Structure 1
Amino acid sequence: MIGDIDKGIAHSTLASFADDTNICKSIGTSEDVKLLQEDLGRVYDWAKENNMTFNGDKFQLLRSGTNHEILNNTYLVTSDNQTIDTSPHAKCLGVYLSDDGTFKHHIEQTIKKARRIAGWILRTFYSQEKDCMLTLWRALVHYVLDYCSQLWSPHMAMDIQALESVQRAYTRQIKAMKELSYWERLKRLGLYSQQRRREIYIITYTWKALEKLVASPSNINEVEPQFNQRNGRKCVRKIAPSQAPARIKSLLSSSLPYNGPRIFNCLPRRIRDLTGCSVDSFKTQLDSVLRTVPDEPPVPGYTSLCRAVTNSLPDQVDLQRRDTGLGRSVGTPLL
């Protein structure tokens, strides 16, 4: 029954999963608002035909743009002709998107939730032994920080540091780890930084999209392979429209369709060329490579010791290759 909810939708894009339904449209004029309202009306008619009722109190309207005349002078209504309230953030399938096009609010909420759970663990469990603490961390906190991270992974240093601070504070409480630097704790505990974990999810999703195991992250910018006899398989890099405002270019460059190929292409050819194998096999071989790449997440007071431009994989791999070419030893500097 739910499969034909988009029947008759002529001017907008509708997506539905479980009990979440979203309808969106690019708005340039007040006429576009009317067309969107017409499509909403068709959705209301569908619900009536199928003896269903939408809860108008749960409707959220997210508006993004700089056309203040449209933003301030137009509105949409529910099936009861009640104005739909505009929200600064809208939650869909567990992820908040803000009206400025960023995931900053979602990142803030994620950090709060992860800190709350980490604090509960430290208050509830007496043992600070490594095995106990890591088991609890992986079982109760990891999923909070990882959930859908390939979509909202931040590019701003302050957000990267804030997310990293949760794991940094928690690992300091593990027995015999308090006196070690965060970088050293990661190595001793066999953990990746949160930044590196997010990039692993981005790589894995990009590979799965190339293998047609999942849908491309965008209908407009599909993940496309590019084959070369010398370099093997790479992803076609997306370039933001030259006429786009700087803010839009920044948002696009940090999005999955743009960022995924950039990170995937820095991997060794033997990883990029993996095809026809299971996801677990790909992850295992990827892990064997990434364990050799320095993982030096930004930490207040220590960022100047990171020799790479950033801790992002393309920068760390580039530094590693240059060091190898110059015959230098590659490793984490002493803190």
Structure 2
Amino acid sequence: MSSVELLQDDLNIVIEWSRVNNMELHEQKFEVVNYPLNGSKALRELPFYPETVEYTTPKGHAISPQETVRDLGVYVSSSRSWGPHIEKTVQGARKMAAWTLSVFRDRSQVVMLTLYKSMVRSKLEYCCPVWNPTKVTEIQKLETVQRSFTRKISGCRDLQYWDRLKKLKLMSLQRRRERYSIIHVWKILNEHAPNDTGFEFKSHQRHGIKAEIPAMNKSAQLSVRTDYDNSFRVRAAQLFNVLPSELRSITLLDSFKVGLGRFMEQYPDTPPVPGYTPTNDNSMLSWRRTHSMQLS
């Protein structure tokens, strides 16, 4: 039995269960997104292909594949790219920033930062460990919102973005996303969050507690290997392992956050910005490699 037939059976079972339990589902709102591999591109261009991955509800409503689907506020695409979600996120944050700047006239640092952190930045960071981008263009697109807003703050207009971050004691959005990822791994380790991504940890006598990096099938196609390298399961584990052993062993959340903040201050925060040439892509993993190369 094909995977399409198996999923169709599962769909029928779920709908029948809901009917028996007097919980009617809105079948016209059902959506499906497929994740085909590159090797099947020629097949997907054939006229009859959509019919092979189309599902039907018991009432006869056809569920055709969608390019993008919104799930709990996060947009997932059939191309396995977070580009559509990042585009929607940036659009929403820009609209909120424009509204905020038009309503509030005060440009003082305290007022502007309070408005930015509560109304704009929160939109840019919703569920960010899930979709944390690694492409420079996407990092720049997100960073542009903070860059533009902070330029409006009194006394910051003539400062370049990296200097504004230092003056305002702000992290780049890129660095904050890495911070969120590390904290979530710590929460999984200390059972403050469900381990739904299958993290495994090992304690080493010399290196302390470390997150295990899952094995990758070396015969997998390039796009799959890229998705693997950029996934939360791998990137977050690598970031967590960068921390010193004494920091990874802290069991109190507030103490861990304080220690993490101090540790992250050791690394320069120079996010990708058009017109400036940074030393690397600004990830703590890259700064770690740069530091190791200098020592060697």
Q: TM-score, normalised by structure 1?
A: 0.82
- Is 1:285 aligned with 2:256? no
Are 1:185 and 2:164 matched, yes or no? yes
- For the aligned residues, what is the CA RMSD? 1.8
Tell me the SS of whatever aligns to 1:159.
helix
Which shows bigger deviation, 232-241 or 177-186? 232-241
Report the counterpart of residue 77 of structure 2 in structure 1: 98
Question: CA offset at residue 37 of structure 1?
Answer: 1.0
Amino acid in structure 2 at the alignment position of 1:234: K
Greater mean alpha carbon deviation, residues 35-44 or residues 177-186: 35-44
Which stretch of structure 1 is more off in the superposition, 34-43 or 128-137?
A: 34-43
Residue correspondence of structure 1 range 47-196 to structure 2 within 5 A: 47-66=18-37, 67=40, 68=43, 71-74=49-52, 75-196=54-175
- Greater relative contact order (Cα 8 A, min sep 6): structure 1 or 2? 2
TM superposition shift of 1:239? 3.6
Find the residue that maps to 1:243 and give its secondary structure: coil
Name the aligned partner's letter for residue 214 of structure 1: A
**Conservation of the 8 A alpha-carbon contact between 2:208 and 2:245:** yes
Paired AA for residue 226 in structure 1 = K
SS in 1 for 2:62: coil
Cα drift, residue 320 of structure 1? 4.3
- 1:239 touches 1:258 (CA, 8 Å); kept in 2? no
Matches within 5 A, 1:185-334: 185-218=164-197, 222-274=198-250, 276-277=251-252, 279-302=253-276, 304=277, 306-307=278-279, 309-320=280-291, 325=295
Which residue identity lines up with residue 229 of structure 2 in the other structure?
S
- Matches of 1:319 and 1:253 in 2, distance apart? 19
- 2:29 and 2:50 map into 1 onto residues whose CA distance is 22
Q: Residues 136 and 281 of structure 2 are in contact (CA less than 8 Å); yes or no, is this contact kept in structure 1?
A: no
Q: Where does structure 1 lack aligned partners over 5 or more consecutive residues?
A: 1-28, 327-335
The secondary structure found in structure 2 opposite 1:292 is coil
Structure 2: any 5+ residue segments left out of the alignment?
A: none
Distance in 1, Cα, partners of 2:121 & 2:196: 23
Q: State the Cα distance separating 1:321 from its structure 2 match.
A: 5.5
Counterparts in 2 of 1:243 and 1:164: CA distance versus 1, 3 Å: same
Deviations 1:192-243 (A, max 9, x none): 000000000110011111122212242xxx2111222222221112342111
SS at match of 1:214: coil
For the 8 Å contact 1:121–1:136, the answer to whether it is kept is yes
What residue identity is the alignment partner of 1:265? N
SS at match of 1:91: strand
Q: Percent identity?
A: 34
Q: Indicate the residue corresponding to 1:39 in structure 2.
A: 10
Q: So what's the TM-score if we normalise by structure 2?
A: 0.92
Residues 268-301 of structure 1: per-residue CA shift (max 9 Å, x gap)? 2221222x31x22211211121122210100011
Shift of 1:181: 0.9
* 1:83 counterpart letter in structure 2: A
